[in-house]
Amino acid sequence: MSASKSSSDNARNVLMDKIVSLCKRRGFVFQSSEIYGGLNGCWDYGPLGAELKKNLKDYWWRRMVRDRDDVVGMDGAILQNRSVWQASGHEKTFSDPLVDCKETKARFRADQIFYTPAIIGGDSHGYVSITESPSMEEEAQQKIRKIQKKGGIKGEIAPLDLKPLTEATAEERAQIPSPNATEPGTLTEPRQFNLMFKTYVGPVEDDKNVTYLRPETAQAIFVQFKNVLETSRVKPPFGIAQIGKAFRNEINPRNFTFRSREFEQMEIEYFCRPEDGMRLLDEWLETRLKFYEEIGIPRDKLHILDVPEKERAHYSKGTYDIEYEFPFGVQELEGVAYRTDYDLTKHQEHSGKPLEYFDPNTKEKFIPHVVEPSAGVDRTVLALICQAFDEETVTNDKGKEETRTVLRFAPRMAPIKCGVFPLLKNKPELVAKAREVQEMLRVHMNVFYDEGGAVGRRYRRQDEIGTPFCVTIDFDTLGENGDETKDTVTVRERDAMTQERIAIKDLLGYLLERIS
Ligand code: GAP
């Protein structure tokens, strides 16, 4: 492995460790059930994480529902009749290929283990395998060099042909070592593992009462399509939007909150005429890319994957994955999929209820086609934190250099919009004025009052959680240095660390203009 590559991998890990530790230290994200040893794949959002997540969901709802005439919202139940999951195909096919390692007892998703023949100097020396990572090629090369060194083998290493384990033949599998095992051949044959959490409705735990925690919010939208159509004065093209929890019993939850077992989705099912599907797919992709820019995720950190036909769901005529450059690799934030009329057709077939739309203009009935932008709340929150995280060297009040950790959130996403500080906590007039300013602002935004420690320290605490503005009430505010500065405050901006003197009467307008 080249030195620069390994050091950049290392830097990425260090960066991720810093982000995870900040999230815990400042109350963004905690391990779920932590005092009992945690529950793998589940996370709890602390006070700041809950605010950040709420800002994201509220802004999505505002831009995708309230600002548009053609999208309405709904809030479906997590538990649905089992027939919903039978009709949608989830009960039969919503599964991942699972393999066990007989030696280490580890479990993997077969499509996330990659293998390659170790060809050195033209001769075969077995296989190496690795789990998915940002630098799979380099890791595989490193493993092959180890074989070379151990066997005293000389010669060039042939170009690597990395393939997922799902593509291995039984013969190959017998020779592929599991990623952490010593001997090859310890991986079982992949078997399909259904990701839905099964549960029983009512007191009797028998087959008749089985259902599942929803693995996506989308199905309730399809099932309620007719009710919404008949009650909301909408007609195709129109969308139904929903935000809510989804549950998947992921084989390998990982990368902090990125792949969880309990998570939230923000989904729109946009119903249209068949001939408009492909055009609307492209339009929705643009709409969604713009949204990410508006929340502070720049276009150049996003990758658009035009999913090839063989990797798309069989019913999809086109799918784009919107991916973000996380420190642990480029990974999916959202899928924008043209699902044709598959879902409504399936529910019509299984329920026996008509789900067509009668177009009064053309006097024809048709099953609407669907374009679906489906985003993950938790993944977007994680992207917001990764994008915002920054460290810079600054000189402190005592002339010493120190590291300033700052979350450069777009102000509209920041959990706290404004810190309010009296210069000194033992001066009642300063405290009273600061409380007055806090009361005035808190009706309109999330503010945080802090009177502890030097003002510089208080600024740093707010920088670390991404508060875009801090307001300090000082002796000028009280009029002790003349009428000119009476009833003015210092407003300090997080990124440039610049300070401005603003009249209290103009403060609310000043802040609202910058945070909304
Ligand atoms: N209705 C379509 C659907 O559910 P998906 O690609 O399986 O499509 C959509 O999921 C989004 O939900 C993903 O892009 C991702 O942001 C989020 N998501 C899916 N599985 C997740 C998991 N295990 N943990 C966190 N987010 C997940």
State mean pLDDT over 358-374: 96
Closest C-alpha residue for ligand 1 atom 27: 376
pLDDT digits (tens, 9 = 90+) for 296-326: 999 999 999 999 999 999 999 999 999 999 9
Domain with CATH 3.30.930.10 in the chain: 3-94+197-385
Rounded distance from Cα 342 to ligand 1 centre (Å): 19
pLDDT of residue 180: 86
Rounded distance from Cα 376 to ligand 1 centre (Å): 6
Please state the φ and ψ torsions of residue 71, each to the nearest 5 degrees.
-130, 130
State mean pLDDT over 393-403: 89
**Which of the listed residues 216, 256, 304 should we mutate to test ligand 1's pocket, taking the one with most ligand atoms within 8 A of CB?**
216
pLDDT band, very low/low/confident/very high, at 2 (cuts 50, 70, 90): very low
Rounded distance from Cα 463 to ligand 1 centre (Å): 31
Pairing label, strands 488-493, 210-212:
unpaired
CA dist., res. 402 & res. 65, Å (int): 45
pLDDT digits (tens, 9 = 90+) for 47-56: 999 999 999 9
Q: Sign of torsion, CA 451 452 457 462? A: negative
- Helix (H, G, I), strand (E, B), or coil: what is residue 83? helix
Percent of the chain with pLDDT over 70: 98
| Ligand 1 residue neighbourhood (C-beta within 6 Å) | 216, 218, 248, 250, 259-260, 263, 265, 267, 332-335, 372, 374-376, 378-379
Ligand 1 atom with the smallest distance to the CA of 250 is: 23
CA dist., res. 325 & res. 319, Å (int): 19
Rounded distance from Cα 134 to ligand 1 centre (Å): 20
Model confidence at 5: pLDDT above 60:
no
State mean pLDDT over 419-441: 98
What pTM, to 2 d.p., does this model score?
0.94
As a residue count, the chain comes to 516
Ligand 1 atom with the smallest distance to the CA of 334 is: 14
pLDDT band, very low/low/confident/very high, at 396 (cuts 50, 70, 90): confident
Domain with CATH 3.40.50.800 in the chain: 416-515
Ligand 1 atom with the smallest distance to the CA of 333 is: 16
pLDDT of residue 13: 86
pLDDT digits (tens, 9 = 90+) for 449-492: 999 999 999 999 999 999 999 999 999 999 999 889 999 999 99
pLDDT digits (tens, 9 = 90+) for 105-138: 999 999 999 999 999 999 999 999 998 887 889 9
pLDDT of residue 1: 39
State mean pLDDT over 405-418: 98
Rounded distance from Cα 22 to ligand 1 centre (Å): 25
State mean pLDDT over 19-26: 98
Query: Which CATH code is given to the segment(s) 3-94+197-385?
Result: 3.30.930.10
Cα distances from 276 to residues 38, 267, 272, 338, 347, in angstroms, run 47, 20, 6, 10, 22
Closest C-alpha residue for ligand 1 atom 7: 216
Minimum mean pLDDT range among 58-67, 82-91, 264-273, 395-404:
395-404
Query: Which CATH code is given to the segment(s) 416-515?
Result: 3.40.50.800
pLDDT of residue 12: 80
If you average pLDDT over every residue of the chain, what do you get? 95
pLDDT of residue 7: 65
- Helix (H, G, I), strand (E, B), or coil: what is residue 312? coil
